[in-house]
Amino acid sequence: MAMHLAGAGHEISVYNRTRSKAEAFVSEYGGRIADTPADAVAGAAYVAMCVFGDDDARAVTLGDNGAFEAMSPNAVFADHTTASSETAELLGSQADSRGFFYLDAPVAGAEEAAKTGLLTVMIGGAEEGYQKAKPFLDVYSKAAELMGPNGHGQLTKMVNQIMISANMQGLAEGIVMGQQTGLDLEKVLNLLGQGSAQSWWLDNRGARMAGAALDETDGGISTMTKDLGICLNEARRNGVPLPITSLIAQFFVAAKAQGRAKWESPSLITLWDRRYD
């Protein structure tokens, strides 16, 4: 996201809790390295944050030298973290009391979309804040839509994670079935990708799953374990039954327990693929 903003000519400051990452970014794309979140946002019209989860988001915004201490009046803070709706509501309230706009704005599209500036952004917040943010969001997204008040961006992301987890699980089971019954999986996936079984996950991850060539550094298993936990907590809070999602969430927990937390999310296939025994 910062790469695309810098490429569009915006003057940027960057902060990362691992300073070497900020240094590497600035050496390649320019900008200023900030020492703290508050330093990073001082004087900014637009701020984008993306961290792992609820605790991280609260620490970076409300902790010591947190970003919310130094936000300019009427500036926009777009939080691209995937977190709970409760955290989004809290941070939205804090921002409102301090005179700036907070948008919970989780993203979808995986690494490919982030690198190409084609993310999908689901947003919760005020219309005025959304309109102020839109020119910046358009730099690194193909679609950015206001879904409702604070919390609704995160709720929309939960629906996204429910749907993609089921897609990954179905793809994993289908590939295992094909592999263990002797099918030519390259032909199978090429053919089925032209019919009603086609999906982004089949197109972009099917070949790696079929070839037992999964990325072991992506961190997707850990991320999906966290994300589905958020979904299930929200479902309990609202009395919504999610029986299939509950089951799939346990598969991600099992894959993580097998030491695959850093593997990419479709690595839940390793629970059934005998090549990983």
In this structure, the strands spanning 119-124 and 107-108 are antiparallel
- The structure tokens listed for 133 are 């943010």
Residues belonging to the chain: 277
Q: Are 122 and 133 in contact (CB under 8 A)?
A: no
β-partners of residue 103 are 78
User: Could you confirm whether 262 is annotated as catalytic?
Assistant: no
Q: Which backbone phi and psi does 78 adopt, to 5 degrees? A: -100, 115
Q: For residue 77, which of 37, 113, 23 has the smallest C-alpha distance?
A: 37
Element (H, E) at 102: strand 101-104
**Of the listed 157, 226, 256, 262, which one is catalytic?**
157
CA dihedral 187, 211, 176, 180 (to 10 degrees): 80
Q: For residue 167, which of 229, 99, 245 has the smallest C-alpha distance?
A: 245
- The structure tokens listed for 94 are 């804090």
Catalytic center residues: 157
